[in-house]
Amino acid sequence: MAQKRVLVVGGGLAGLACTMKLAENGVSVDLVSLVPVKRSHSACAQGGINSVNDLTRQQGDDEWLHLDDTVYGGDFLQHQPPVKEMAYAAPKIIELMDRLGVPFNRTQEGFRDQRRFGGTLFKRTSFAGATTGQQLLYALDEQVRRHKAAGLVTMHEGWDFLGPIVDDEGRCRGAVAQNLVTMQIRSFKADAVVVASGGCGLIYGRSTMSMACNGSAASRCIRAGARYANPEFIQVHPTAIPGADKLRLMSESARGEGGRVWVPRKPHDPRAPREIPEGERYYFLEERYPEYGNLVPRDIATREIFDVCVNGGLSVEADKQCVYLDLTHIPREELDRKLGGILNIYEKFQGDNPRDVPMKIFPAVHYIMGGLWADYARSREGGLEAENPRNQQTDIPGLYAMGECDYHYHGANRLGANSLLSCIFTGLFAAPGIEKLIGSLQASSTDAKFDSLHAGAVAAKQAEHDALLKQAGDGDENPYEIHHLLGEEMTKAATVVRRNDQIEAALTKVGELCERAQRCSLSDTGAWTNQNVVFTKALRDMFPIAKAILRGALQRDECRGAHFKPDFTMPGLSSDDPTERRRQAEKWCDAFQAKNEKWLKTTIATFDDAGEPSITYEEVDTSLIPPRPRLYGLVGAEMIEEVWKERQAAKDAAAKREPALA
Amino acid sequence: MIAPNKDYARPSTFDVRVQRQDAPGKPTRWERFRIPYEPNLNVISVLQKIARMAKTAAGEKTSPVAWDCNCLEEVCGACTMVINGRVRQSCSALVDKLLEETPGEIELRPMAKFPVLRDLVVDRDRMFRALERVQAWVPVDDYLDRGAGPKESQDSQESRYPLSECMTCGCCLDACPQYTKIELERKPGETDDSYAARKTAAYDTGFLGAQAISQAILFNDHGTGKMLADKRLDSLMGPGGVAACGNAQNCVAVCPKDIPLTKSIARAGRQVTVYSIKKLFDR
């Protein structure tokens, strides 16, 4: 029988981790990537990677608490078994990365140093300067290069994945891809295909994401029948540097190392920031959230910054929305050692030195919590079953989704420094299941009986490509212009604050843009390194996901994590009278319970042939940690928490009694 | 240092001259584009504008300029090109600064030491191949659970980390007088695999350059990585190894990440010397 092969699409952390694990076990891998893998978007991750560690353990931390922080931060929208498995694997993953030579920052004694990140009270985050993602990416890239040198991995860098090849029985047998230089379209025969293509920030025009993050690979899986989950959950990072071409990330680690967010109390105060005395500064995060301060979870920090600027009118500048992120009180030497990388980015692109002058920042689209629907196999202990081929498998048997492009792990809001972890974890953990799957297959994708399937798939993609080139003269639309307009619509309607009338208007406009995108005129009709045609294809494929984001957001009439609708908030308690306050808290908890019964569900987008999504809902597995209200900063939080705990205790007691009765 | 020209008036437009080439082996030509001035532009946003208008300054229709980019924050290395005569990343090349250097005009060329695929897109496979030549990895036994890696002092981390920031952009090589272009023409009917094999063989005879030498040192400095030190030094001793360095020191001057490349090269030279003496006595 022919040797089985796996095709991995995407060479960021998830794709590389999966590749190296497969190769370690002797599986041959073809790796297709838009860019040389060392230039993948994972390189942009700055702050660090989370895990419980020896120090936090002594402060009472354990894996269970990492799980708890992650699902609480994610507003309980994630299935808990995959998160549990990830939290328990995390310490081992950090140690493996350490073995691979990642230059993690060290303590005086030579141990790995850790910093604190948002949404937790423990210092769980290991880091390598302020370029942790780059360092992890390089470590995995080096391992994959080692397997390439040994002949197990074949690299296809500079190829665009055009879609999976699915046989009559619905099983994935490989994929079609196009070379970005020669424009050749060919098929890759594979017994399993792993899509690890990252997020789709380009749908928003400008975001903190790289130019390869256009979501086209996920969209092409949708076209082949895969479903997409939790599309409306988009993380807007609180601190980015506004730019004409990109909104560059300013890592959460700037706050983790003591950075303070403030605005002048006097709107648009013309004085230089350092001349404004302490008393005239409004440290709004510290005032509103005394416990977490500047390190509240990202969705909350983002909304507060947005609120202070848009509703409070306190933006630092009159014609541009921004607030100060201030590091100037921290010694330069410490800043250079711990944050040098990101501070240099600010200096290079803005021309000001953040060691001397507070940075001006504003929120930007940053991470896609939703993604391709993927399966998992729950173990008896509530984690995942190792080596089960169902883990990370999409609706199409043999087609897997990993990393940012799947929907697990982060729920309604991702905690900082959990994404590098989830990417590496999925790649490493799912690889043995894939190996098992391909071992169990009767037929091999290289069997002659699949030749015509592959040839047909290539011919279909070639025809689409040729038609697009030929259409050049007939069309009157500019793809770059349409992309710009799409980004504006999406940013307006589906980021920090969402209103149903705005989303409905955006749905109409995005629908129009989608039709216009079909009439794109190409300014380049050449058959060599034609970036124009590649971009136009990616643009067209943005629409199904863009529509799913809007539809999901429109239908979800509640607030959860990053999804915030002011018309559906649950205000805190207003009464000062203890009895009345108690009554209000009871009512609040009733409302919360009802809200969860209705909305604590995974959003599932299914697409018709035209790429139009329809939305249904699926239950969430919250069997490990019962959902509880997320009360950061809410008035009356203590009282609500008290009532909620009593109710939970009663429920737990009832659950204990029941088996005894039976 | 020259003081920035503060009096220089902001123009309403500025010109960008781009060296264009349709494909490998095709002639080059210059094309001029006129861009409306806005504050805070970088070269990437200029190229995006050119792609959108696809028209020269003379109003003639032309194909969009092809160029590489990804992260736009100078951490991926993709968008490297020669801007106003200096090799650098186009994302961090700010138009206001460039116009201070040469008022009214910006000149873009592809990197000089790598084969041009089209316009400003070059083939830098040779750099990745060089990483393979020097075995730039830590030879771990497996990816199973074996506890932490070697303990490391702050000093050691602080000397390894800058080397590990190398984003394989190629600035150091483009500026190096000893690093010469290796470009092979594809033979008619040649398969992908045999063309790739011929390229690899040709690359392996060329100078490794500062990038790969520095990476060899990075891994020789790591507790486990150094277990392959002798093999890396074998590559550094061979043809195209560290001896080919002419000490021009251009590499360190153009490195966007301020990596101490000449220090790495000096250290590589010393390690090779010690290793060759050791080899002599071990014979």
Residue B171, domain CATH: 1.10.1060.10
Which CATH number does the domain housing residue B104 bear?
Answer: 3.10.20.30
Are residue B134 and residue B205 in the same domain, yes or no? yes
Are residue B48 and residue B186 in the same domain, yes or no? no
| Region class of B68: left (phi > 0), else alpha (psi between -120 and 50), else beta | beta
- pLDDT at residue B8, rounded to an integer: 53
Interface test with A, best of B35, B44, B67, B71 (most A CBs within 10 A): B71
Q: What is the mean pLDDT of residues B132-136?
A: 98
Q: Do B154 and A110 touch (CB under 8 A)?
A: yes
Give the separation between CA A373 and CA A195, rounded to whole angstroms: 12
| A24 and chain B in contact, CB less than 8 A | yes
Helix (H) or strand (E) holding A187: strand A185-189
Phi, psi of B87 (to 5 degrees): -75, 130
Are B109 and B121 in contact by the 8 Å Cβ rule? The answer is: no
Query: Hey, CA dihedral for B133, B137, B139, B144, is it positive or negative?
Result: negative
Q: Looking at chain B, how many residues does it have?
A: 283
Give the separation between CA A545 and CA A200, rounded to whole angstroms: 9
Contacts of B196 in chain A (CB under 8 A): none
- pLDDT at residue B1, rounded to an integer: 39
The reply to whether B254 falls in a domain is yes
Instruction: Name the residue facing B225 among A101, A244, A337 (closest C-beta).
Output: A101
| A351 and chain B in contact, CB less than 8 A | yes
| A521 and chain B in contact, CB less than 8 A | no
Q: Do B70 and A212 touch (CB under 8 A)?
A: yes
The reply to whether B145 falls in a domain is no
Are residue B253 and residue B209 in the same domain, yes or no? yes
The reply to whether B146 falls in a domain is no
Instruction: Name the residue facing A100 among B118, B138, B152 (closest C-beta).
Output: B138
Q: Do B121 and A526 touch (CB under 8 A)?
A: no
Residue A537, C-beta contacts closer than 8 angstroms, at least 6 positions apart: A160, A162, A216, A465, A468
- The parent domain of residue B246 ranges over 124-139+152-282
Contacts of B165 in chain A (CB under 8 A): 129, 131, 134, 341
* Paired tokens of A650: 């009663």
Q: Do A135 and B94 touch (CB under 8 A)?
A: no
Are residue B181 and residue B261 in the same domain, yes or no? yes
* Paired tokens of A159: 């190829």
Q: Do A243 and B140 touch (CB under 8 A)?
A: no
The reply to whether B157 falls in a domain is yes
pLDDT tens, residue by residue, A3-34: 899 999 999 999 999 999 999 999 999 999 99
- pLDDT at residue A523, rounded to an integer: 87
Enumerate residues 450 to 479 of chain A having a beta carbon within 8 A of any beta carbon in chain B: 478
Q: Do A142 and B138 touch (CB under 8 A)?
A: yes
Give the separation between CA A467 and CA B48, rounded to whole angstroms: 25
Three-state SS string over chain B comes to CCCCCCCCCCCCEEEEEEEEECCCCCCEEEEEEEEECCCCCEHHHHHHHHHHHCECCCCCECCCCCCCCCCCCCCCCCCEEEECCEEEECCCCEHHHHHHHCCCEEEEECCCCCCEEECCEECCHHHHHHHHHCCCCCCCCCCCCCCCCCCCCHHHHHHHHHHHCCCCCCHHHHCCCCCCCCCCCCCCCCCHHHHHHHHHHHHCCCCCHHHHHHHHHHHHCCCCHHHHHHHHHHHHHCCCCHHHCCCCCHHHHHCCCCCCHHHHHHHHHHHHHHHHHHHHHHC
Three-state SS string over A134-149 comes to HHHHHHHHHHHHHHHH
Interface test with A, best of B75, B116, B214 (most A CBs within 10 A): B75
Q: Do A351 and B71 touch (CB under 8 A)?
A: no
Q: What is the mean pLDDT of residues B172-187?
A: 97
Q: What is the mean pLDDT of residues B231-241?
A: 96
Q: Do A131 and B121 touch (CB under 8 A)?
A: no
| A529 and chain B in contact, CB less than 8 A | yes
- pLDDT at residue A473, rounded to an integer: 57
SS3 A228: strand
* Paired tokens of A160: 């665009």
pLDDT tens, residue by residue, B19-57: 999 999 999 999 999 999 988 899 999 999 999 888 999
Are residue B114 and residue B29 in the same domain, yes or no? yes
State how far residue A507 is from chain B, nearest Cα, in angstroms: 25
Interface test with A, best of B38, B40, B72 (most A CBs within 10 A): B72
**Residue A308 DSSP one-character state:** I
The reply to whether B105 falls in a domain is yes
Instruction: Name the residue facing B117 among A112, A181, A246 (closest C-beta).
Output: A181
| A337 and chain B in contact, CB less than 8 A | yes
- Integer angstrom CA distances of residue B207 from A643, B74, B177: 72, 26, 11
Contacts of B170 in chain A (CB under 8 A): none
Query: Hey, CA dihedral for A185, A190, A193, A194, is it positive or negative?
Result: negative
Q: Could you tell me how many CB contacts below 8 A there are between chain A and chain B?
A: 192
- Integer angstrom CA distances of residue B260 from A181, A343, B249, B269: 34, 19, 10, 15
- Integer angstrom CA distances of residue B124 from A424, B164, B173: 27, 19, 10
pTM (2 decimals)? 0.95
Asked if pLDDT for residue B7 goes beyond 50, the answer is no
Instruction: Name the residue facing B63 among A105, A107, A523 (closest C-beta).
Output: A523
Residues of chain A with pLDDT under 70: 1-2, 472-475, 659-662
The reply to whether B144 falls in a domain is no
The reply to whether B46 falls in a domain is yes
Are residue B28 and residue B64 in the same domain, yes or no? yes
Are residue B86 and residue B128 in the same domain, yes or no? no
For residue A215, with 0-12 CB atoms within 10 Å meaning exposed, 13-18 middle and 19 or more buried, which class applies? buried
State how far residue B196 is from chain A, nearest Cα, in angstroms: 12
Are residue B128 and residue B91 in the same domain, yes or no? no
Are residue B88 and residue B132 in the same domain, yes or no? no
Determine whether A298 is an active site residue. yes
How many domains does chain B fold into? 2
Q: Do A39 and B73 touch (CB under 8 A)?
A: no
State how far residue A534 is from chain B, nearest Cα, in angstroms: 12
Contacts of B38 in chain A (CB under 8 A): 244
Are residue B101 and residue B132 in the same domain, yes or no? no
Give the separation between CA A409 and CA B31, rounded to whole angstroms: 50
Enumerate residues 474 to 503 of chain A having a beta carbon within 8 A of any beta carbon in chain B: 478, 480-481
State how far residue A365 is from chain B, nearest Cα, in angstroms: 15
| Options A124, A173, A220, A298, the catalytic residue | A298
State how far residue A70 is from chain B, nearest Cα, in angstroms: 24
* Paired tokens of A196: 């690890």
| A105 and chain B in contact, CB less than 8 A | yes
Give the separation between CA B77 and CA B68, rounded to whole angstroms: 9
Interface confidence, given as ipTM, is: 0.96
Map out the domains of chain A with their CATH numbers: 5-48+126-233+367-453 (3.50.50.60), 237-364 (3.90.700.10), 470-555 (1.20.58.100), 573-661 (no CATH)
State how far residue A295 is from chain B, nearest Cα, in angstroms: 24
Q: Do B42 and A531 touch (CB under 8 A)?
A: no
Give the separation between CA A98 and CA B25, rounded to whole angstroms: 45
* Paired tokens of A382: 């509530």
Partnered with residue A605 across adjacent β-strands are: A228, A615
Query: For residues A272-306, b (16+ Cβ closer than 10 Å) or e, as one string?
Result: ebeebeeeebbbbbeebbeebebbbbbbbbbbbbb
Q: Looking at chain A, how many residues does it have?
A: 662
| A149 and chain B in contact, CB less than 8 A | yes
pLDDT tens, residue by residue, B246-260: 999 999 999 999 999
Q: Do A145 and B77 touch (CB under 8 A)?
A: no
Are residue B66 and residue B84 in the same domain, yes or no? yes
* Paired tokens of A643: 């009532």
Are residue B70 and residue B156 in the same domain, yes or no? no
- pLDDT at residue B6, rounded to an integer: 46
| Region class of B182: left (phi > 0), else alpha (psi between -120 and 50), else beta | beta
Q: How many CA atoms lie within 13 A of A459 on its CB side?
A: 6
| A21 and chain B in contact, CB less than 8 A | yes
The reply to whether B92 falls in a domain is yes
CA angle A440, A446, A447 (to 5 degrees): 85
